[in-house]
């Protein structure tokens, strides 16, 4: 069975192998801290919370939702920092803005594991940029 830690390792490996930046943030005492900083080349910074999807629903903890909302509010419309929830189920990544409950059918997803993570993240960015 794939673990959340393994998914984070895969994301970091993919981002680094492609020349992008990825960093896991691990602090068991920092309640509500998001999981990762992701920076595709020449693109905005993504503050990401990674969740395994059980059934069809995922979302941040209440404290994570507060922290991700604060990031969103601080960034305003500048677009240089983007908070994102990334769900994972059966080899597929699901991207969504941070809200309490996210159904995977409401997410941006390429619904395949054939496309590398960094390319999926970039596609998500262009899907929300409008």
pLDDT at 77 (0 to 100): 85
Does the model's pTM come out above 0.75? yes
**Contact, 64 vs 72, CB < 8 A?**
no
The rounded Cα 126 to chain-centroid distance in angstroms is 15
Confidence of residue 118 (pLDDT cuts 50, 70, 90): very high
- What mean pLDDT, rounded, does the chain reach? 93
Pick the CATH number of 4-129 from 3.40.1350.10, 3.40.50.1100, 1.10.600.10, 3.40.50.2000: 3.40.1350.10
CA distances from 93 to 27, 28, 87, 124 (A): 24, 25, 6, 11
Tabulate helix, strand, coil % of the chain (nearest 5): 35, 30, 40
Band of residue 87 on the pLDDT scale cut at 50, 70, 90: very high
- Label residue 114 by pLDDT band (50, 70, 90): confident
Mean pLDDT along residues 11-35:
91
Q: Of 126, 113, 94, 121, which is closest to residue 37 (Cα–Cα)?
A: 121
More confident site: 45 or 78: 45
């Amino acid at each position: 069975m794939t673990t959340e830690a393994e998914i984070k390792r895969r994301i970091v490996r993919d981002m680094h192998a492609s020349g992008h930046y990825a960093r896991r943030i691990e602090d068991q005492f920092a309640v509500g801290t998001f999981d990762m900083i992701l920076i595709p080349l020449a693109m905005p910074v993504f503050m990401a919370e990674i969740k395994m999807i059980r059934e069809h629903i995922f979302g941040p903890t209440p404290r994570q939702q507060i922290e991700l909302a604060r990031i969103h509010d601080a960034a305003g419309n500048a677009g240089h920092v983007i908070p994102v929830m990334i769900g994972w189920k059966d080899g597929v990544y699901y991207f969504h803005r941070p809200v309490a409950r996210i159904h995977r059918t409401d997410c941006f997803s390429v619904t395949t594991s054939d496309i590398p993570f960094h390319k999926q993240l970039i596609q998500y960015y262009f899907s929300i940029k409008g």
